Amino acid sequence: MKCQRDKFSLQRKVSYLNGAYMSPLMKKVEKAGIKGMIQKRKPFHISPSDFFKETEVLRTLFGQLINSPDSARHIIIPSVSYGVENVVQNLNKKKGKIVMASGEFPSNVYPWSANSNYTLKFVAAPTLGKNLAENWNEEILKAIDDQTAAVSIGQIHWVSGIKYDLASIRKKTRSVGAALIIDGTQSIGALPFDLQEIRPDALLVAGYKWLMGPYSIGMAYYGEMFDQGRPIENNWMNRQGSHQFSGLTHYEDNYLPRAQRYEVGEHSNFVLVPMLIAAIKQLLKWTPLGIQQYCDALCYEAIDALRSEGYTIEASKGRASHLFGIYFNKSATMERIERALSKYRVKISIRDQAIRVSPNVYNDQKDIQRLVSALKEAII
């Protein structure tokens, strides 16, 4: 794959290596949003069927991305925390331990910590060094026991890019009757994920990072465990017969089947839904594997160069290629690093004493060389 910068409106003078913070919008995604806003100028052209057609297209496309054919298990959510809260309120085990990696993003922590029935077990990352990913995965597996109600974890760690061994974690959770809940926000769209292989009980994904869509919309998958649950929001659209506008006051107690009972109200957003559709259609053309291969080829020489300067970066087999942490050279202070990055106009995030680098197909070697130059200059 060649660089896809022409599909974006990024400035050449800025090296944006921060897709894990927020992706830039593709031009076609912007156009889809503008078209949706223009549509609202003349609402008399919006029919009742329009509330449902595009959302079904989006559910189907999301299924193609994660290899999940049943669109009734895919729903639109406004945020990951919304999706996790539906899980917390409907988990099969009503008490127990929630296992998660240390340093999890707050959206995957607060819904659990707010419920007194569950206790959080954070599995600390081993000391930086060889086999960090392997050792961390081993410790996570050790933490899963008969007292575990769920493992709530990402496909990768959101700062270091360490990949979790989801297949082994799934096997262990099944053996003790625990659920597997995955926050795929920092991976789905850029890293291959096969739902048929992992079979999680729930998968939650924000739309504005690697799905490359707008803010305030995301996607979720809920498995059979949640088929009879009670959603945190009772809206008219998650009830059976909701597509029949003439009968909306024939109040219905029954929810739509499978995951659709958990879908957020007003999910047929005529601006955000078309934008996310346009984004996922392009991702399916690039493929998550293609994005991984592009990012790996883009960065591997730079990573070797930075290691030779004393920076620490996990070996490629244990981490993602689209997101990875660079841990400070002892002689490079935070102040010097930030000053050098600003000088070279490199945009990244600094999280938990790590420089988080997250490239995508809009980046090229000029961007990566600016990063290397900045980090070399930061060394005292």
Phi, psi at 35, each rounded to 5°: -60, -40
Predicted pLDDT of residue 30: 98
What are the structural domains of the chain? Answer: 5-20+288-377 (3.90.1150.10), 32-285 (3.40.640.10)
Would the pTM of this model clear 0.75, i.e. be above it? yes
Q: pLDDT tens track of the chain, all 380 residues?
A: 999 999 999 999 999 999 999 999 999 999 999 999 999 898 998 888 888 899 999 999 999 999 999 999 999 999 999 999 999 999 999 999 999 999 899 999 999 999 999 999 999 988 766 788 999 999 999 999 999 999 999 999 999 999 999 999 999 999 999 999 999 999 999 999 999 999 999 999 999 999 999 999 999 999 999 999 999 999 988 888 788 787 778 888 889 999 999 999 989 999 999 999 999 999 999 999 999 999 999 999 999 999 999 999 999 999 999 999 999 877 778 889 999 999 999 999 988 778 999 999 999 999 999 999 999 999 87
Predicted pLDDT of residue 129: 65
Sign for the pseudo-dihedral over CA of 184, 16, 293, 321: negative
Residues with Cβ within 8 Å of residue 155, at least 6 apart in sequence: 163, 164, 166, 182, 183, 184, 186, 187, 188, 191, 193
Compute CA distances 19 → 1, 15, 67, 179, whole Å: 18, 11, 23, 30
Torsion of CA 42, 43, 47, 51, to 10 degrees: 120
